């Protein structure tokens, strides 16, 4: 008889955004992927790595990638760890800091996968809602849980917490404050300096969005060396393959291409928001590569289905607090123009 751990048997598991079998036939705006290709230098680096070297194990420490990230962000390499997607480092932070029954917390709404990772570990979950001015509702003077996850910019809503407020939270979290900066490149704000000032702050990043490398599964964290050392103990010893490491180094070195891509997305985001406003949609000002938009009749499911029928994928959440709207990734200008035309038809 199969005897699973009780928490694993009863948990539902995380459900990612819909992935069609034939994505080329859709305008895919439902998973915040980057519609632009990765840097040509990344492609060159991957191709150069293919060959005899693949019969050898990769560098277990991903040293070249760590050094490239450390140089870019202005930290010593021992303050950086590379990961198999930022999800790996989020998972390992819970494994490192939370025992069975310990509490972790995050903002609601934000990345719901935090709850799944906590369930796997057997940790308890607490959430804090938002006030109208984008602060945490009923947050205690001192939060004494083991980890507090703060997604900044917030997903799915797109707003950013001010750096002053985040620094205030760093002093109010007695455990570890993990600032998930998945979309920070689109916002041009970062809490990396708080890692220097507070020993309980960790910043995580991903290559999936701004670097157009969702298919490579690359992420990183910046934290104090003692935290990085702990994460090194529990990660898979060859967690990044040779191709991923080559891609990471090339992407980090090509900041000019990153900036060009980000500017395109920011400009298209502004245009798209303006057009949504003309259609009567309510749009939360976004600092990510997506917007959360509410149609005039507040029936997000109706508009989602209308777009789906026209082969345009966006994200609709069944959660009653989000069901009135849609999270729409920002694609190319041409893709967003087609999306606006479809919304006009749907009405």
Encoding tokens for residue 86? 């930022």
Ranges in the chain, pLDDT < 50: none
| Sequence-ordered list of residues with C-beta below 8 angstroms from that of 47, at least 6 positions apart, any chain | none
CA distance 197 to 29: 38
Reported as type and span, the H/E element at residue 124 is: strand 124-128
Query: Checking DSSP bridges between strand 176-180 and strand 282-283, what pairing results, if any?
Result: unpaired
Taking only the tens place, the pLDDT of each residue in 230-263 is 999 999 999 999 999 999 999 999 999 999 999 9
Angle between helix axes 255-278 and 333-346 (nearest 10 degrees) is 20
Encoding tokens for residue 66? 């760590």
CA dihedral for 105, 106, 109, 110, sign (positive or negative):
negative
The structure tokens 């928490």 sit at: 7
Distances (CA, A) of 187 to 27, 190, 192: 24, 8, 14
Asked whether 311 and 22 are in contact (CB, 8 A), the reply is no
CA distance 115 to 40: 37
- Nearest C-alpha neighbor of 241 from the set 95, 34, 83: 83
Amino acid 278: pLDDT:
98
For the purposes of burial, counting CB atoms within 10 Å of the CB of 21, is it exposed (0-12), middle (13-18) or buried (19 or more)? exposed
Amino acid 258: pLDDT:
98
Encoding tokens for residue 54? 């693949």
Q: DSSP letter for 207, please.
A: S
Q: DSSP letter for 150, please.
A: E
Q: Give me the DSSP letters along 3-27.
A: ---HHHHH-----PPP--S-GGGSE
Amino acid 10: pLDDT:
81
Domains and CATH numbers, the chain: 6-30+256-346 (3.90.1150.10), 40-253 (3.40.640.10)
Alpha helices in the chain (DSSP H): 6-10, 40-49, 63-73, 86-97, 113-121, 163-172, 184-187, 192-197, 225-234, 242-253, 255-278, 300-309, 333-346
Distances (CA, A) of 264 to 157, 189, 210, 276, 311: 20, 17, 11, 18, 24
Q: Give me the DSSP letters along 282-300.
A: EE---SSSEEEEE-TT--H
For the purposes of burial, counting CB atoms within 10 Å of the CB of 192, is it exposed (0-12), middle (13-18) or buried (19 or more)? middle
């Amino acid at each position: 008889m199969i005897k699973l751990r009780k928490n694993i048997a009863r948990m539902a598991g995380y459900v990612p955004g819909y992935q069609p079998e034939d994505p080329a036939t859709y305008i895919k705006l439902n998973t915040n992927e980057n519609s632009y290709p990765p840097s040509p230098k990344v492609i060159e680096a991957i191709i150069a790595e293919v060959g005899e070297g693949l019969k050898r194990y990769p560098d277990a420490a991903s040293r070249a990638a760590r050094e490239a990230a450390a140089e870019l962000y202005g930290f010593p390499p021992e303050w950086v760890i590379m990961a198999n997607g930022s999800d790996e480092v989020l998972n390992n932070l819970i494994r490192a800091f939370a025992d069975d029954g310990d509490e972790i917390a995050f903002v609601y709404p934000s990345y719901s996968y935090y709850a799944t990772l906590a369930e796997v570990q057997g940790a308890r979950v607490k959430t804090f809602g938002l006030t109208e001015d984008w602060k945490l509702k009923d947050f205690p003077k001192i939060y004494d849980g083991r980890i507090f996850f703060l997604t900044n910019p917030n997903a799915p809503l797109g707003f950013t917490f001010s750096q002053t407020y985040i620094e205030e939270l760093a002093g109010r979290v007695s455990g570890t404050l993990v600032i998930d900066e998945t979309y920070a490149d689109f916002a041009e704000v970062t809490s990396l300096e708080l890692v220097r000032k507070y020993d309980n702050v960790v910043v995580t990043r991903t290559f999936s969005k701004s670097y157009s490398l969702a298919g490579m599964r690359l992420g990183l964290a910046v934290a104090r060396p003692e935290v990085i050392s702990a994460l090194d103990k529990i990660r898979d010893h060859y967690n990044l393959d040779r191709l991923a490491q080559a891609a990471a180094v090339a992407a980090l070195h090509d900041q000019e291409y990153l900036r060009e891509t980000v500017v395109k997305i920011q400009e298209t985001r502004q245009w798209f928001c303006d057009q949504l406003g003309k259609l009567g949609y309510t749009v939360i000002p976004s600092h990510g590569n997506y917007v959360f938009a509410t149609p005039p009749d507040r029936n997000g499911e109706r508009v989602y289905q209308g777009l789906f029928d026209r082969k345009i994928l966006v994200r609709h959440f069944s959660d009653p607090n989000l069901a009135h709207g849609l999270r729409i990734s920002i694609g190319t200008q041409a893709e967003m123009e087609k999306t606006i035309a479809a919304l006009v038809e749907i009405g």
